[in-house]
Structure 1
Amino acid sequence: MSSSQNTPINLVSVNTVPERAKKVIGTVIENVKDKYNIVHAGNSITIEGVAPLLKSIQPPPGILFCASMWTPEQQEEIQKIAKETIPGIKTHAAPTGLQAQGGPEGVVKYLMGRIDEIMKEK
């Protein structure tokens, strides 16, 4: 493992159902633990709570995931807030409605298919 993989990367989720966020993100983290050292550092249940949450976590989060319950416009707003609050943060939004269509397993499968590209994002 390289040193970049040893240094934990804090991840924040924005999901109105914190228990589901913890389960889905926890599954993804478990599945990639041999490649990435990711810690689910917090969840905001509101758009208004995103900036204060990001500012409260040390070291600052490196990744923000938006859940699929938000509209594309809300997801765009959440990601904009994240990038203004923490320049350089990686952000990703699950397609709107994915949870409703595919359940938690569908979201995990979706994120697993994109985690490498998210982690390489500049």
Structure 2
Amino acid sequence: MENTPPKGPFTLVTVNTAPERAKRLIGRMVEGLSERYTIIHVDNCDTIEQVSPKVRQHQPNILFSASMWSPEQAQKIHEIAQRERPAIKTHAIPQGLQVERGPDAIVEYLLENVPALLDSVEL
């Protein structure tokens, strides 16, 4: 394998009502992808109302909405983020994944799905 530097840095904002869990799980994902990508988790929004000001403040490349949000809420979160930063890439973790399969399933899901998202980001 060639020795190429990780792609990035990517700045990430999460939308999760459990900020400590978000930080822990995203930390595991960042570690798992660290050879290929540099991801900086800059902030978490505990509420949908925080999305607009935090996206404006941090101008992140990517935003994840956690599995506690319904598809409608996730869509609203993503629309708010895209209004503030049209180039942002958003991703909704499937609703109920944390509850049904636990934190390891979330990390596994992110490790499988995030590389394609990151590869689509214009840096």
What TM-score does the superposition give when structure 2 sets the normalisation length?
A: 0.91
Please tell me the residue identity of whatever aligns with 2:28.
Answer: T
Q: What CA RMSD, in Å, does the superposition of the two structures yield over aligned residues?
A: 1.3
Q: Which whole-Å CA distance do the structure 2 matches of 1:36 and 1:120 have between them?
A: 9
**2:38 paired with 1:33:** no
Q: Which whole-Å CA distance do the structure 1 matches of 2:13 and 2:78 have between them?
A: 11
Which aligned segments of 4 or more residues in structure 1 are displaced greater than 4 angstroms? Answer: none
Deviations 1:85-111 (A, max 9, x none): 111111100110000011111100111
Cα displacement (A) at 1:56 = 1.3
What TM-score does the superposition give when structure 1 sets the normalisation length?
A: 0.92
Q: Match of 1:114, SS?
A: helix
Q: Match of 2:12, SS?
A: strand
Aligned to 1:87: 86
Q: Match of 2:37, SS?
A: coil
Cα displacement (A) at 1:120 = 2.3
Aligned to 1:121: 120
Provide structure 2 residue ranges, at least 5 long, that are not aligned to the other structure. none
Identity rate, percent: 44
Cα displacement (A) at 1:54 = 0.9
Q: Which whole-Å CA distance do the structure 2 matches of 1:112 and 1:51 have between them?
A: 27
Deviations 1:22-78 (A, max 9, x none): 011000000001100100000001001001011112xx2000000000000000000
Aligned to 2:17: 16
Aligned to 1:75: 74
